[in-house]
Amino acid sequence: MYDLLVKNGTIVDGTGAPSFRGDLAVRDGKIVAVGDASGPARETIDAEGCIVTPGFVDIHTHYDGQVSWDQVLAPSSINGVTSAAMGNCGVGFAPARADKHDWLIQLLEGVEDIPGTALAEGLTWDWESFPDYLDALSQREYAIDLGAHLPHAALRAYVMGDRGGDHLERPSTGEIERMARLTAEAMEAGALGFTTSRTHAHRSRDGLNIGTLTAEDPELLGIVGALRQTGKGVIQLISDAYLTADDAFATAELQLIRRLAETSGRRLSFTVQQTDDSPDRWKSIYREIDQMVADGLPVSAQVAPRPIGAILSFASTTNPFIVARTYRRIAAESASIDARLQALADPAVRAAILEEHAAFHASEGFIAIITRGFTRMFRMTDPVDYEPHESQSLGAEAGRAGVDPAAFVYDTLMEEGGRRLLYMPLINYAHGNLDDVHGMLTGNHVLYGLSDGGAHCGTICDGSFPTTTVALWSRGNKAGLSTPLERLVHGYSQKNAAHVGWYDRGVLAPGYLADINVISLDELALAPPEIVQDLPAGGTRLLQQPRGYRATVKSGVPTFSRGAWTGRTPGRLLRGAQAFG
């Protein structure tokens, strides 16, 4: 008898091969038959009219804190993800001495917009070393499987103390050797790999640059040499190469990436996006990656399926008026969101904030776009339109009405009792459409990533990337550009799994782990995010519910049914690579 039988679906098996109609049978957590799988089963899922895919593998999340208090691990788990990698971008909570706990919380609060109060209350800190951290996680159960990278910022502070948080400080030879030894220890204990950050966007809550920003060759090559020594792990990093208009800087960063791949001998991926300041940089980076691969280096770009967009609201973290002194005072003094919204409804407060906003001027950067980019602010529709036209913007609406755009945006944000959400595409939208995103997604050496599940709680809501990838690009964007469904599913299953060494999943075939999604493709869509207060200490986050997932199965156990958690937690910590069989 089978434990589970999925009947009558269209099977998209994760390999990129053409889909076919058939059944799928599961026993003891693994797939035992695909195609014709008739016979009795303890549980049956009717997949008529649905596609059946492997569970999605998200290689870029930040659940490093959330794993301490949450078993469900939404938003990834509610978007078809059954396996996830955390500890990306060089940030995380291990290794950590007791006197660095508050410092690490401030770093994650600033870099990844995770409420510090939630982290302070929710983190258990039943670890010091990275192996200790893995041991602690191994005692917990989740709705999905998890693997963890060793983060550079935490490692640097652990070895260098306070100096490790200053990117201008250089480690001694002895400190580099110790970081390398701890890296080897982490790989042997089951770390997925080593991650680092080289972007000015990553700052602590106090506005200080991340300590890894300008790490030099002796430090970086010394650390990744431990990956070659152990023959284990991957490298993930973010660099400002994609956003710069400075050709020399971009070239230097790409040369460093080449040296990291050569020294480590391991697979390496890094963030590639599009910014307004350098809208075609991604194309030259792709050419460099092509050359690296031609030279035998396993280097990939991590890309996103839609714009990286800020969610603007008076009830969450970010809006155009955060620069106004009166707004900041109210936000700091309000005991609750409702109290803040009540104060903002006062006409005198409105007038003061608008006056202060008008006096603020930022010439460039994201703060200029967020405060003045009225033609990039859009009401969130249901389902969300991730390719809105400028004519739909609040700036365009204000122009047609002949009113001040800032006042118009303020009043719009006060709709729905002050809980109106606006969508503002910041990255991957330089030309006002998704044509370039299609180009990035269909490049030769790309990985689907950058969802940041578990992070950016009050500003960005991109843990739903797997849903967008399948729903939007299987149908096509507004220019008619699309990607075959089989290729999209392959990217979020077998390809991502293989990159981090998880060879036991990502394919619907006998012998593979029974991680499965049953999806009504016609219904697959994303509702606007909701503002919820379900983090420790009453912390607020944005949570976006998808539609169209009929069932998600983890290791043969149904974990979600029509979007609702079944209460079951078959997910576990994954230590390093996982062999097939």
**CA–CA distance, 413 with 254 (Å, rounded to integer):** 42
Tell me the DSSP string of 540-554. Answer: EEEE--EE-EEEEEE
DSSP string over 53-78:
EEPEEE--B--TTGGGT-SS-TTTGG
The percent helix, strand, coil of the chain (3-state, each to 5) is 40, 20, 40
CATH number of 89-307+443-460: 3.20.20.140
Longest dimension (CA), the chain: 72
- Residues 271 and 286: their CA atoms lie apart, in Å, by 11
Backbone φ and ψ for 542, nearest 5 degrees, come out as -90, 130
CB 153 within 8 A of CB 212: yes
DSSP secondary structure, 327-396, as one string:
HHHHHHH-SSHHHHHHHHTSHHHHHHHHHHHHH----SSHHHHHHH-GGG-EEPPSS--SS--GGGSHHH
Q: Of 52, 37, 34, 36, which is closest to residue 2 (Cα–Cα)?
A: 37
* pLDDT for position 352: 98
Q: What is the pLDDT, as a whole number, of residue 581?
A: 86
> Which DSSP string corresponds to 283-335?
HHHHHHHHHHHHTT--EEEEE-SS-EEEEE-SSSSB-TTTTSHHHHHHHHH-S
Interatomic CA distance for residues 245 and 529, integer angstroms: 34
Domain ranges of the chain: 89-307+443-460, 310-427
Q: What is the mean pLDDT of each run of 10 residues along the chain (581 residues)?
A: 97 98 98 93 97 98 97 98 98 97 95 92 97 98 98 98 98 98 98 98 94 98 98 98 97 98 98 96 98 98 97 94 96 94 98 97 81 96 97 98 98 96 96 98 98 93 97 98 98 98 98 98 97 92 96 98 97 98 86
Residue 453 has phi, psi (to 5 degrees) of -50, 135
| pTM greater than 0.75 (yes/no) | yes
Rounded CA-CA distance 581/579 in Å is 6
DSSP assignment, residue 563?
A: T
pLDDT of residue 213: 98
Given this model, what pLDDT does residue 461 score?
A: 94
Q: Which of 493, 450, 538 is nearest to 238 (CA)?
A: 450
The full 3-state SS of 439-486, as one line of letters, equals HHHCCCCEEECCCCECCCCCCCCCCCHHHHHHHHHHHCCCCCCCCCHH
Cα gap 152→540, rounded to integer Å: 28
343-359 exposure pattern, b = at least 16 Cβ within 10 A, e = fewer: bbeeeebbebbbebbee
Contacts of residue 361, Cβ cutoff 8 Å, sequence gap at least 6: none
What whole-number distance in Å separates Cα of residue 278 and Cα of residue 442?
20
Residues 372 and 349: their CA atoms lie apart, in Å, by: 20
Nearest to residue 482, comparing CAs of 493, 469, 495? 469
Cα–Cα distance list, 356 to 316, 323, 360, 448, 538 (Å): 20, 8, 7, 41, 31
How many helices (H) and strands (E) in the chain? 19, 25
Tokens of 474: 């299987």
Q: What is the pLDDT of residue 442?
A: 98
